[in-house]
Amino acid sequence: MNALFFELLIWLTAPGAVRADRASFQTVSFTDFVCGQEGGFTCCLKRPLTAAGEPPPEVPVRVEMPAKFIPRVLGASGATLWGLEDDLDRVTASRDFKALRRGVFQVRASVNVLYGRDGVFDQLDGTGEAGLRRGLERAGQKLVVWKKETLAGLLPALEIVADFEGDRGYALYLGVAPCGTLLINYYHPTTRSAADEKQWERFVAGIKKAGS
C-alpha cells in the first residue's frame, strides 16, 4: 500500500459515536495546541535550538478548540490529541479512534508529506501537490475540499477533505518551522452530520494571528 495513502487512510477509517452541543469554543496558543500543555521540551515548538538551551520563538498564532476539549500527549508518539476526557481515555488506551463520543483532533509530524523551500507540499517523490492529488484520486478518494492557503499570515497550509468508502476524512498540513510539516486530523463520531463539517470549518477558520 502506498505510504501516503496509508497515512491519509487512517483518518478515513476511524469513526466514533454520539454528539453534543458545539456552540462554545476556547482560544489556545499555537504552542499549547501542538505540544499539549504538558509537552515540555520534547515538543518541536519547545525544544531548545541553541547551545544556550533557548527554545524557539513563540509562533504568534492562536487556535480555537471546543470549550470542553482538553489536550493529551499520545505516549512516545509525540502526537497531541484534543477531545473530551473519556474520548481521550479510549484512544490512549487502545490507539483506536472508534466509538468516540464527540470526535478527536490529532496533531503530529507528517512523515509522508513535507513542505519544501520551494513553497510546495510534496509526498517525497518530487511530484509536488499535483502528484499528491493524483495519488489520492487514484486510490479511490473523492476530494471534497482541496485548498492551499496561508493561515494567520504565517503558516502555509494544505487542507484536504475527502470521501472514501462511505466515510469522510479531514486533514490539514501545515509548514511550521522548526517542526517541519505538521498533520492535523479530525476524527468524527460515527453518525457524521453537518455539525462535524461546521466544527472542522470553524477550526480551520480559527487559526489566526495571536491577539486578533
What single letter denotes the amino acid at residue 38? E
Distance CA 193, CA 3 (A): 29
Q: Is pLDDT above 50 for 13? A: no
Q: Is pLDDT above 70 for 164? A: yes
Choice among 45-49, 91-95, 133-137, 142-146 with the minimum mean pLDDT: 45-49
* Exposed/middle/buried for residue 212 (C-beta within 10 Å: 0-12, 13-18, 19+): exposed
Choice among 53-62, 104-113, 169-178 with the minimum mean pLDDT: 53-62
What single letter denotes the amino acid at residue 122? D
The mean pLDDT value for 52-67 works out to: 88
Domain residue limits, the chain: 3-209
Confidence band of 39 (pLDDT split at 50, 70, 90):
low
Q: Is pLDDT above 80 for 118? A: yes
Task: Tell the residue number behind the cell numbers 453534543, with chain if given.
Answer: 20
Distance CA 93, CA 101 (A): 15
| Per-residue pLDDT tens over the stretch 184-199 | 999 998 778 899 999 9
Distance CA 172, CA 5 (A): 15
Confidence band of 15 (pLDDT split at 50, 70, 90):
very low
| Per-residue pLDDT tens over the stretch 126-155 | 999 999 999 999 999 999 999 999 999 999
Q: What is the pLDDT of residue 7?
A: 54
Confidence band of 1 (pLDDT split at 50, 70, 90):
very low
